[in-house]
Amino acid sequence: MKFLEIATFIIYFLSIIAISLITYKKQKSDTSYVLGNRSLNFWLTALSAHASDMSNWLFMGFPMIVFTSGVFQIWAGIGLVAFMFLNWQFIAPKIRAETEKMNNLTIYSYFETKFKDDSNILKMLSALLSLVFYLFYISAGLVGLGLLVESLFGFSYFTGIIIGLLIVVFYVFLGGYITVAWIDIFQGFFLLGVILYIPAILLIKTGGLGPVMEVIKLKELSTSLFPDFSINTVLQIIFISAGWGLGYFGQPHIITKFMGIKNVKEIPKAKYLGITWQFLALGGAALLGLLGIYFFRNGIDNSELIVIELVKNNLAPLFSGLVLCAILAATTNVMAAQILVVASSMSEDFYKGFFKKTATHLEVLKISRISVIVISLIAYFIAYFKISTIYELVFYSWSGLGASFGPLILLSLYYKKVNRIGAFFGILTGGLVAGIWPLFNKTVPSMIPGFFFSLIVIYLFAQIKQRHTYGKE
């Protein structure tokens, strides 16, 4: 182990502790813990929404698919930027206004209020599906941290998992929504600097992008976003970009960031700031994947570690520590947001909704913090067995959440005829299709059929209910 790498990590960790302790006293109720009293400015909202989106997938998953396939896979990043822009444009302002008007702290309680569900069945189904998919999502972050610490420091994979888990649990347990937001903005700027600086230095070593593209061509990998204009290529572009991008409409850990902004009129500023950050971050990650092809022409044992190997073999030891901290930042941002969403659901939707409707703010806050620990432990055991790659775990979870909740969120804001039964079967259909689709079809991403089947089901139930109502009249 190298002194500079360890020292860099310690400084980073101490910074996280300092932010957590400073914001700890602000968490005095469930409203402040879960949604920050809707008091965030546009800077915090923008960076928190985007930093809590880009997990270790930014440093490990996305560069891997570019490294193994070439330029064409950059469509995944293009799809994410395009659909996140649509998310800001069409979802953010409306969900912020609606949830404040109905006094909802979670997306699931919003569904319950919106569709007048006294049975709590919508909230129960939503919380259950989110718990399942988020556990796999959180475990993907832990898998990445385990591989990272193992590769850089020589610790065991399981030690890396524990280190990452302790960091996240510490600041989510103490601070909640506001702490996560402040840490997001700190880590967002940090990891953006790292992911832009490293490819810039490496491009100087290669003499520019020209030599890199020559090597990519020699290896017979994709060198263009548009290799041809055949129907097959167009379908692949749609599958890659929409297969990722559609998921934005249904990610509770991102949607709740929109709900926390203080002034809905500041959403346009947050949108352009956030999209700029995302464009630059994904651009840097794509460059790292392409540079990996140049520097490792014979490949590497684990393609998900391409960024780590680039740094270890081409830059000073200090950068290994910086990359560790950047990947740790990207991973913990997302894990913290996800754990907070699930913990909030456990306290607000389960405990307060089913067991003690008269629970005080402090009681709900206590349950939230207990839930943080329980959820983290379950995710640890999933990560322990390392059942899949980071890319596959993230894609599976992302698709499940996006297909379950995206269609309903979208239609609930723009289609007044949506009803409770349609909402229930829409969530169920999206979740089931996205969950089992990969078992039968690997060509079409599960997000696409899951999302559109859910849309159709919600629409059909709305039409059936309308005709039934007219028939009675």
The identity of residue 379, as a single letter, is: A
Q: 177: closest CA among 340, 25, 322?
A: 340
CA dihedral 320, 323, 325, 327 (to 10 degrees): -140
Q: Which residues pair with 40 in a beta bridge?
A: 261
User: Which H or E element spans position 15?
Assistant: helix 3-24
- Measure the CA–CA gap between 165 and 152, rounded to whole angstroms: 18
Does 427 map to a domain? no
Q: What gap in Å lies between CA 389 and CA 66, rounded to an integer?
A: 16
Rg (CA), the chain: 22
Cα separation, 42 vs 39, whole angstroms: 10
Q: How far apart are CA 411 and CA 400, in angstroms?
A: 18
The stretch 210-221 carries a mean pLDDT of 94
Q: What are phi and psi of 222, to 5 degrees?
A: -65, 130
**pLDDT tens column, 440-472:** 888 899 999 999 999 999 999 998 866 555 444
More confident residue, 307 or 10: 307
Distance CA 268, CA 271 (A): 5
Which of 8-12, 104-108, 298-302 ranks highest by mean pLDDT? 298-302
Tell me how far apart the alpha carbons of residues 427 and 122 are, in angstroms, rounded to a whole number: 9
> Of how many residues is the chain composed?
473
Q: Is residue 360 part of a domain?
A: yes
pLDDT value at 473 more than 60: no
- Window from 19-33, 327-341, 375-389 with minimum mean pLDDT: 19-33
Tokens of 215: 């090597």
392-446 pLDDT tens trace: 888 899 999 999 999 999 999 999 899 999 999 999 999 999 999 998 888 899 9
CATH number of the domain bearing residue 363: 1.20.1730.10
* Residue 464 belongs to a domain: no
**Domain-embedded: residue 23:** yes
| Pair 134, 338: CB distance under 8 Å | yes
Whether residue 265 is contained in a domain is answered as yes
pLDDT of residue 85: 96
Q: What is the pLDDT of residue 178?
A: 61
Number of domains in the chain: 1
More confident residue, 18 or 314: 314
d(CA 190, CA 325) in angstroms, rounded, equals: 9
Q: Is residue 419 part of a domain?
A: no
Has residue 442 been placed in a domain? no
Q: Residue 471's pLDDT is what? A: 44
Mean pLDDT of the chain: 82
Count CA atoms closer than 13 A to 17's CA, side-chain side: 7
Determine the pLDDT at residue 246: 95
User: How far is residue 442's CA from residue 176's CA, in Å, rounded to a whole number?
Assistant: 38
Q: What is the pLDDT of residue 127?
A: 84
Predicted pLDDT of residue 435:
92
Beta bridge partner(s), residue 312:
none
State pLDDT tens for residues 86-108. Answer: 999 999 999 999 988 888 878 88
Determine the structural domain holding residue 336 and report its residue range. Answer: 3-391
Residue 1 reports pLDDT greater than 60: no
- 263-295: per-residue pLDDT in tens? 889 999 999 999 999 999 999 999 999 999 999
> Angle at CA 366, nearest 5°, toward 362 and 368?
115
Would you give the distance in Å from CA 81 to the centre of its chain? 13
| Domain membership flag for residue 276 | yes
